[in-house]
Structure 1
Amino acid sequence: MFESPTDKQGGTMGAGGRMSVTTTKAEQKKNLLQRVPYSKPPFTLGDLKKAIPPHCFQRSLLHSFSYVVYDLFLVLVFYYIATSCFHLLPYPLSYLAWPIYWIVQGCVCTGVWVIAHECGHHAFSDYQWVDDLVGLILHSVLLVPYFSWKYSHKRHHSNTGSLERDEVFVPKPKSKMAWYSKYLNNPPGRVISLTVTLTLGWPLYLAFNVSGRPYDRFACHYDPYGPIYNDRERLQIYISDTGVIAAAYLLYRVAVAKGLVWLVCVYGVPLLIVNGFLVLITYLQHTHPSLPHYDSSEWDWLRGALATVDRDYGVLNKVFHNITDTHVTHHLFSTMPHYHAMEATKAIKPILGEYYQFDGLPFYKAMWREARECIYVEPDEGTPKKGVFWYKNKF
């Protein structure tokens, strides 16, 4: 397991591998995994906000809609090419074309999902009803209960890094790990775990709260009277369910008219890719060997928000509207539109210093490393900070 110096709070090395050009590759790898500080930051949220140009907080309805139009245009173009041209290709090109379509369409539709996510944060426009209407339509088409997710995701942002109250990808202490976990702590076991997580993780989370925070009774995103929601939110959960049911009925009618195989090829497989990327992006944003988690004795909102990591997905950063490489800023200022987040990130990085974590490891390699290294969390032995938990993997 990667181990870093315990309680190291200072030094000239910045988190995320920001070091001088004289360091070796081995040193860069070591310092990339150096634990970020967990003590109270020497700056406040107000200090960070002052460093960001004021226009970064301005939401433009026209600018935001331009991304919706652009993404949906690409979706229609790829759909037209697949349904009008693939059957004209000679064998075996016609069969090779479909996997390319699935990947490209899935990536673009993930960008559509991100825009709906932005609506849920009221970062799309200055009008809450516009944000909710756009978010409801876009998420329903992707079979996501918009308001249900919006409220649980809001609680995630309010409790990031808290072992008791965070909503998603909440790590467990070693004592609460399932009995079979140690038998999956090997390459074949990781392949199985990652495959299940990326294919079934999202629907299992929505339907059964798998990987979510524990509640005192059964929790489901489709249940208006479940423990996730309060009385003021229940009507909107019904609306979310209605949106998903309407979308599912439309898909049923399409399957009757076009055939189930056609629907799976055109819509079903790209949706699986959307779900997979959604789970992977969220997992990698909050899972890293250098990041702490806190119990109630140590947690506070700012330190929890900083316990996240920016990642590099290459060209997909733009396709995913930079939700991947500006996630730290997003957790600090979630109502900021995505098209200003990169500028804001550059503005606050000098203030964040070692509290900012960026990992440029390709996401497919990072996925495997985190699955190997980040199994459970425990406080360090012999440290007075018993409320600060770190990822470990030794059974």
Structure 2
Amino acid sequence: MQPAHNGDGVLDARRWTRILSNYSAPNRLRSVAELVITALPLIMLWTAAWFTFSLGHAWASLLIAIPAAGFLVRLFMIQHDCGHGTFFASRLANDWVGRVIGVLTLTPYDCWRRMHATHHATTGNLDRRGIGDLDTLTVREYRALSWWGRLKYRLYRNPLVMFGVGPAYLFLLQQRLPVGLMRNGWQPWASTMATNLAIAVIVAVLTWFIGIKAFLLVHLPIILLAATAGVWLFYVQHQFEHTSWERDEIWNLHQAALHGSSHYELPALLRWFTANIGIHHVHHLSSRIPYYRLPRVLRDHPELRDVGRITLLQSFRCVRLVLWDEAQRRLVSFREIRAGDFQETAPNRAAPSP
């Protein structure tokens, strides 16, 4: 096998994509088993949370919501793999499993799949921001804003908004309409409205049987915890100090995938609940790899372990990183741009060789 390094020993992202294609075949039995061991515990935990609530033990119901949210996050990751066409070999199976899961995760599958494909196709491209990613300004762009524009960006980037209000707004409100895809024909509307209708039917049936109060106090904590965890994961996967952003003329898809995505090294239990999505640099290099094969990639190719590696403790420091400094080629904090002497223009850089 041809080594995935250039002559200087630097990891060659383009060669890695060819090597990683060997891991892309899904295993149908494994996929079905993964679906079962994720969906069934979620249903059982939800039922247990409702039962304890009905007995007057609301505190116990809230405790049960924590592992239930973990299984809901894992179910979303299965939907994510379906969106990439990797969970099953059949496109039809991927799409319908993804659509059904999308009702439970409050995420219209077909609409989300299109936006997520755009995210993969443009990640790390400074001139193609805005769809399927977090809003990230450069230092120069931020400085050019009015005081009102700076205040809005600071509020958006505030941790209480980003990981508190933001997840609730995203999953409960924003995803009820195909925001950002209004001009893309009827498919985003059909996906969103069909998902909304299915959600409405399930909510109506459950509230009929257990009451609106029980439904909200049992289900909302699970949804909000899972939503916050999902937004946090997406944040850390690309918002770390030495991520990669380039202007369109020198941007390279493979280099952006390898160096613009983190290896979020989590403890074993959290890796299981997040379906190995922390091995994000490998996922972006080859999104056709099922999540249960990603650890094998690292075992077979240990040189990938330290690329963009972030531990759980280190990840909490990423919250302060809010602006891309084109001169230093790293994410910086508001405090740094107040204290530091930042260049206003990025240095000239040659385009990567094809």
What TM-score comes out, normalization by structure 1 length?
Answer: 0.72
Q: How far does the alpha carbon of each residue in 1:4-42 deviate from its partner, in whole angstroms, 9 at most, with x for none? A: xxxxxxxxxxxxxxxxxxxxxxxxxxxxxxxxxxx9965
C-alpha separation between the residues in 1 aligned to 2:24 and 2:262?
A: 21
Q: Which has the higher helix share?
A: 2
Match of 1:29 in 2: none
Q: Which structure 1 segments of 5+ residues have no match?
A: 1-38, 210-219, 382-388
For the pair 1:199 / 2:164, whether they are aligned, the reply is yes
Deviation of residue 208 (structure 1)?
5.8
Residue number among 132, 137, 140 corresponding to 2:100 in the alignment:
137
Q: How far does the alpha carbon of each residue in 1:358-381 deviate from its partner, in whole angstroms, 9 at most, with x for none? A: 11133xx623x2222x12112227
Match of 1:370 in 2: 318
Paired residues of 1:53 and 1:344 also in contact (CA < 8 A)? no
Deviation of residue 146 (structure 1)?
0.8
Q: Residue 245 of structure 2: SS of its match in structure 1?
A: strand
Amino acid corresponding to residue 251 of structure 2 in structure 1:
W
C-alpha separation between the residues in 2 aligned to 1:329 and 1:120?
A: 17
Deviation of residue 88 (structure 1)?
5.0
Paired residues of 2:178 and 2:188 also in contact (CA < 8 A)? no
Q: How far does the alpha carbon of each residue in 1:334-364 deviate from its partner, in whole angstroms, 9 at most, with x for none? A: 11111111111333442x587x1111133xx
Q: How does 1:224-373 map to 2 (within 5 A)?
A: 226-227=182-183, 229=184, 231=185, 234-235=186-187, 237-306=189-258, 307-314=260-267, 315-324=269-278, 326-350=279-303, 352=304, 356-362=307-313, 366-367=315-316, 369-372=317-320
C-alpha separation between the residues in 2 aligned to 1:40 and 1:246?
A: 53
Amino acid corresponding to residue 312 of structure 2 in structure 1:
L
C-alpha separation between the residues in 1 aligned to 2:324 and 2:16?
A: 31
Q: Residue 249 of structure 1: SS of its match in structure 2?
A: helix
Q: How far does the alpha carbon of each residue in 1:252-292 deviate from its partner, in whole angstroms, 9 at most, with x for none? A: 34224422221112211101111111110000000111212
C-alpha separation between the residues in 2 aligned to 1:267 and 1:341?
A: 31
Match of 1:71 in 2: 38
Paired residues of 1:148 and 1:221 also in contact (CA < 8 A)? no
Q: Residue 251 of structure 1: SS of its match in structure 2?
A: helix
Q: How far does the alpha carbon of each residue in 1:123-171 deviate from its partner, in whole angstroms, 9 at most, with x for none? A: 1111101100000000122211111110010011111111122430141
RMSD: 3.1
Residue number among 379, 383, 387 corresponding to 2:326 in the alignment:
379
C-alpha separation between the residues in 2 aligned to 1:208 and 1:250?
A: 19
Residue number among 14, 33, 38 corresponding to 1:45 in the alignment:
14
C-alpha separation between the residues in 2 aligned to 1:173 and 1:236?
A: 31
**1:311–1:95 Cα change, 3 Å:** same
**1:158–1:74 Cα change, 3 Å:** same
C-alpha separation between the residues in 1 aligned to 2:24 and 2:71?
A: 25
C-alpha separation between the residues in 2 aligned to 1:285 and 1:171?
A: 14
C-alpha separation between the residues in 2 aligned to 1:312 and 1:193?
A: 25
Amino acid corresponding to residue 98 of structure 2 in structure 1:
G
Tell which deviates more after alignment, 263-272 or 173-182. 173-182
For the pair 1:162 / 2:129, whether they are aligned, the reply is no
Bigger RCO (CA 8 Å, 6+ sep): 1
Deviation of residue 61 (structure 1)?
2.1
**1:122–1:323 Cα change, 3 Å:** same
Q: How far does the alpha carbon of each residue in 1:78-108 deviate from its partner, in whole angstroms, 9 at most, with x for none? A: 123223345558xxxx343122111111111
Tell which deviates more after alignment, 200-209 or 333-342. 200-209
What TM-score comes out, normalization by structure 2 length?
Answer: 0.80
C-alpha separation between the residues in 2 aligned to 1:47 and 1:371?
A: 30
Paired residues of 1:157 and 1:331 also in contact (CA < 8 A)? yes
Q: Residue 331 of structure 2: SS of its match in structure 1?
A: strand
Match of 2:51 in 1: 84
